[in-house]
Structure 1
Amino acid sequence: MTASTTRRTTAQKSRIAAVGAIAVAGALLLTACGDQTKSDDTKTSDSSKSSAPLANLLPADVKAKGTVKVGSDIAYAPVESTDASGKTVGIDPDIAEAIGKQLGVKFEFQNGKFADLIAGLAAKRYDIAMSAMTDTKDRQNGIDSDTKQKVGAGVDFVDYFTAGVSIYTNKGATKGIKTWDDLCGKSIGVQTATFSQDLAKAQAKKCTAAGKKTVKIEDFPTNPEAETRMRSKGVDAVSADFPIAAYSVKHSGDGKYFEIVGEQVEAGPYGIALAKGNDKLRDAVQAALKAIIKSGEYDKIIAKWGVEAGVNHDAKINGGS
């Protein structure tokens, strides 16, 4: 889809260079009927503004190309995944499509490793990243959450959802795990560079400091790989954001394979990430998100995927902590 534009034609008020009665009659006809070409173009303009009311907020280059490249790890149902036909579906694609209609551009999802998405923004491979990414101060400031060292310029976030982190296990094989403290001496699978990995590392240090056995952490490029490892009894548990854990429990063998243990923790906002300095596109995305929240379309999308507990109507910039 290209950005909605208004193409005006120049009214041709004197088509025939003639003299005498014919010229007079032609002039009178234009006067009586008005400039029909201009009138039609005005209707087109109004229609364009109606179909993409916020298109004028976009940076000129984005508006010209008509697309926004979205970096995403498309293996995190129900936030984003592929259906049987290979189409990208989920909460993020639906919200992106609704935002795109407000701005008159198409959001094109491009699959990538979660750990590489922020670097992809810096390298301009993507315009935005939308991948169940928790908005944190470390990510905003380009800080490695493990070493606390500066590793990049950081990103800005437009917050659009709220989710905590859950632990789940093979059904009927919880091994006494109810909280993160119960992981001491046990093993857990997590996706690389996620908040779950950060929490697992923090818990391992906590166990060691308390004189207990540490947590054995296995990280994987995607969450389904961590789940496969758990099903083969290679790890005792898996951690992921609550919507993903709940979806996996419900859809894995019709609920036969996994179960969530304990309550979700560390609830925080998901953010649409943009490279620092991309302020105009950031503000346009925020304005479009606010528009679909106000219209009720956002709530319909959230309800469609059964994740009403994660509704976030604030649409803040860098609201994470």
Structure 2
Amino acid sequence: MTARSTRRTTAAQSRIAAVGAIAVAGALLLTGCGDQTKDKESGGSDTADSSAAPLADKLPQAIRDKGVIKVGSDIAYAPVEFKDDSGKTVGIDPDLADAMGKQLGVKFEFENGTFDTLLGGLRSKRYDIAMSAMTDTKNRQDGVDADTGKKVGEGVDFVDYFTAGVSIYTKKGADQGIKTWSDLCGKKLVVQRGTVSHDLAKSEAKKCAKGKAISIEAFDNDQQAQTRLRSGGADAGSSDFPVAAYAVKTSGGGKDFQLVGEQVEAAPYGIAVAKSNTEVRDAVKAALDAIIANGEYKKIIEKWGVDAGAVEEATINGGK
């Protein structure tokens, strides 16, 4: 997750997690977060056999007939979702979608879009769900803009499936004394636009002394923010802990970045579903509970080295 201002919420509602063990897991791979394109990737199995799927009857007939659940996702946020060297969409979310698809007898088809447009895509019915490391927050549930406090839509329901937090990272060997968010005052920070990191930075900047505000540069995706920091164009970057840890582990063979301080604002990642689409919401929850019960969920989470963020059951609208 994912939340990502539209995507990750205000400071108190960050996408941040109790995923402390991820940093040492060592299984984290590469990074990314995508543009709004029309790339479509199968995040589920190549074939969807509804006759062998125990939960197929929980889906609306129209989706069962198509055999596809359309997923809006920012596919550049490794290890949650990203494209491998062959161009295939891979990561935690696609693997979970594949496992849930087998339960439901459908294929989860991922469509790439910028993070801050995903909820709009749900409202316009471009997608059936949005699955993109998105933090479940009360603002998103209610359709409230985190910056203005004004209602901008009907909101969404979330099926929560993971827990994550926000971290700060710097160039390796150049932390400039940055350990906490207050240490960013007078510094330049790069983030992905619309994320919890972005919201947290804006909130923290208001607390800085006069003339020492945080200079925030926001990008369409996390890869762009990392490139800016790598080139020396900023003092620090911030993103969800699994993503920051992955970048530290993989960028430049582990020589580009380092994590600083502790992750903050633990919050759940949720699969977003339109409030009017309760049948799909409940089917996704049932499928998630099924793969938790049969052990597939645990295997996937451990595969990506993020087992500290695992949940024991699916929850609807557990974000605060």
- TM-score when normalising by structure 2: 0.84
SS of aligned partner of 2:160: strand
In the alignment, which residue of structure 2 is the partner of 1:142? 143
Query: SS state of the match for residue 207, structure 1?
Result: coil
> Distance in 2 between the 1:162 and 1:155 partners?
19
Matches of residues 224-239 of structure 1 in structure 2 within 5 Å? 224-239=223-238
Deviation at residue 309 of structure 1 after TM alignment:
1.1
Residue of structure 2 equivalent to 1:245: 244
For residue 270 of structure 1, what is the amino acid of its counterpart? Y
Structure with larger RCO (C-alpha < 8 A, sep 6+): 2
CA contact (8 A) 2:170 2:258 kept: yes
Residue 275 of structure 2 is matched in structure 1 by 276
Identity of aligned residues (%): 67
Deviation (angstroms), 1:4: 4.0
Kept in 1, the 8 Å contact 2:122–2:273? The answer is yes
CA deviations 1:181-207 (Å, max 9, x no partner) are 100111100101111101000000111
For 2:106 and 2:47, the matched residues in 1 are separated by: 6
Partners of 1:94 and 1:187 in 2: CA distance:
35
**Matched residue, 2:66:** 65
Give the whole-Å Cα distance in 1 for the aligned partners of 2:142 and 2:211.
34
C-alpha displacement of 1:89: 0.2
SS of 2:316's partner is coil
Say which is worse superposed, 307-316 or 274-283, in terms of deviation: 307-316
Q: Matches of 1:121 and 1:77 in 2, distance apart?
A: 23
The C-alpha deviation readout for 1:129-160, integer Å capped at 9, x for no partner, is 00000000001111111111111111110000
User: C-alpha separation between the residues in 1 aligned to 2:237 and 2:274?
Assistant: 31
Q: Choose 1 or 2 for highest CA Rg.
A: 1
**CA shift digits 1:281-311 (9 cap, x unpaired):** 0000000000000011100000000011111
Matches within 5 A, 1:170-185: 170-185=171-186
The answer to whether the 8 A contact 1:55-1:102 is kept is yes
Contact between 1:130 and 1:271, CA under 8 Å: does it hold in 2?
A: yes
Q: CA deviation at 1:212?
A: 6.0
The aligned length equals 275
Equivalent residue number for residue 302 of structure 1? 301
Is the contact made by 2:190 and 2:217 (CA closer than 8 Å) also made in structure 1? yes
The one-letter code sitting in structure 2 at the alignment partner of 1:220 is F
- Residues of 2 paired with 1:214 and 1:141: CA distance? 31
Partner of 2:162: 161
User: In the alignment, is the contact (CA less than 8 A) between 2:292 and 2:313 conserved in 1?
Assistant: no
Moved over 2 A (4+): 1-5
SS in 2 for 1:282: helix
Distance 1:125 1:313 in 2: 31
Alignment partners' CA distance in 2, 1:315 and 1:271: 9
Contact 1:2-1:67 within 8 A present in 2 as well:
no
Structure 2: runs of 5+ lacking an equivalent: 1-45
State the 1:3 CA deviation.
5.7
Q: Which amino acid aligns with 2:225?
A: A
Aligned-pair CA distance for 1:314? 2.6
2:164 aligned counterpart, secondary structure: strand
Judge conservation of contact 2:54–2:104 (CA < 8 Å) in 1.
yes
Please state how far the C-alpha of 1:254 moved relative to its aligned partner: 1.5
The change in CA–CA distance for 1:66 and 1:2 in structure 2 (over 3 A counts) is: farther
- Residue 103 of structure 1 deviates from its aligned partner by 0.1
Q: CA deviation at 1:96?
A: 0.4
Query: 2:134 aligns to what?
Result: 133
Rounded Cα–Cα distance in structure 1 between residues aligned with 2:101 and 2:206: 43
| Distance of aligned partners of 1:129 and 1:290 in 2 relative to their CA distance in 1, 3 Å threshold | same
**Counterpart in 2 of 1:257?**
256
Contact 1:159 1:316 in 2 (8 A): yes
Instruction: Return the TM-score normalized by structure 1.
Output: 0.84
SS of residue in 1 equivalent to 2:226:
helix
Say which structure is richer in helix: 1
Distance 2:48 2:297 in 1: 22
Structure 2: how far apart are the matches of 1:154 and 1:207?
32
Structure 1 unmatched runs, 5+: 6-47
**One-letter amino acid matched to 1:158:** V
| 1-structure distance, mates of 2:284, 2:211 | 47
CA distance in 1, matches of 2:182, 2:77: 26
2 CA distance for matches of 1:320 and 1:60? 30
Question: Which residue pairs with 1:8 in the alignment?
Answer: none
Whole-angstrom CA distance in 1 between matches of 2:109 and 2:197: 27
Secondary structure at the counterpart of residue 252 of structure 2: coil
Secondary structure of the structure 2 residue equivalent to 1:252: helix
Match of 1:85 in 2: 86
Quickly say closer, same or farther: Cα 1:3–1:256, change in 2 above 3 A: closer
Q: Secondary structure in 1 aligned to 2:253?
A: coil
> Would the aligned equivalents of 1:4 and 1:55 in 2 still touch at CA under 8 Å?
no
Cα distance in 2, alignment partners of residues 71 and 236 from structure 1: 32
Partner secondary structure for residue 198 of structure 1: helix
Query: 1:197, 1:170 → 2: CA distance?
Result: 19
In 2, the alpha carbon distance for the partners of 1:159 and 1:207 equals 34
* SS of residue matched to 2:201: helix
